[in-house]
Amino acid sequence: MAALDWRDARQYDRTRTLSCRWCGHPTPLRDEQRRPAHKVCAEAATNNNDGGPLCQETGPPPIQHRSRELETPA
């Protein structure tokens, strides 16, 4: 399986945030085809497809993102 290279500056869009193609949450990251995708979502899709090309129809189950809940003081 080929690893995705996320070090390239083109993987980050400084001008806008779009919905991840896999989970739907906003992300400034782009995959190798410049489609919006979180790093963990794209890598999970690659792993689920046995290293084959990413395919939205056969992608991974939705990723559970941790919500950033603010704790209220007692």
- Can you give the pLDDT at residue 26? 96
Contacts of 65 (CB under 8 A, 6+ apart): 23, 25
pLDDT in tens, the chain (74 residues): 456 778 888 899 999 999 999 999 999 999 888 999 999 998 888 887 654 444 444 454 555 555 555 555 55
Please, what's the largest Cα pairwise distance for the chain? 50
Contacts of 42 (CB under 8 A, 6+ apart): 4, 22, 31, 54
- Can you give the pLDDT at residue 45? 85
Domain ranges of the chain: 9-50
69 to 39, 40, 43, 66: CA distances (angstroms): 22, 21, 26, 9
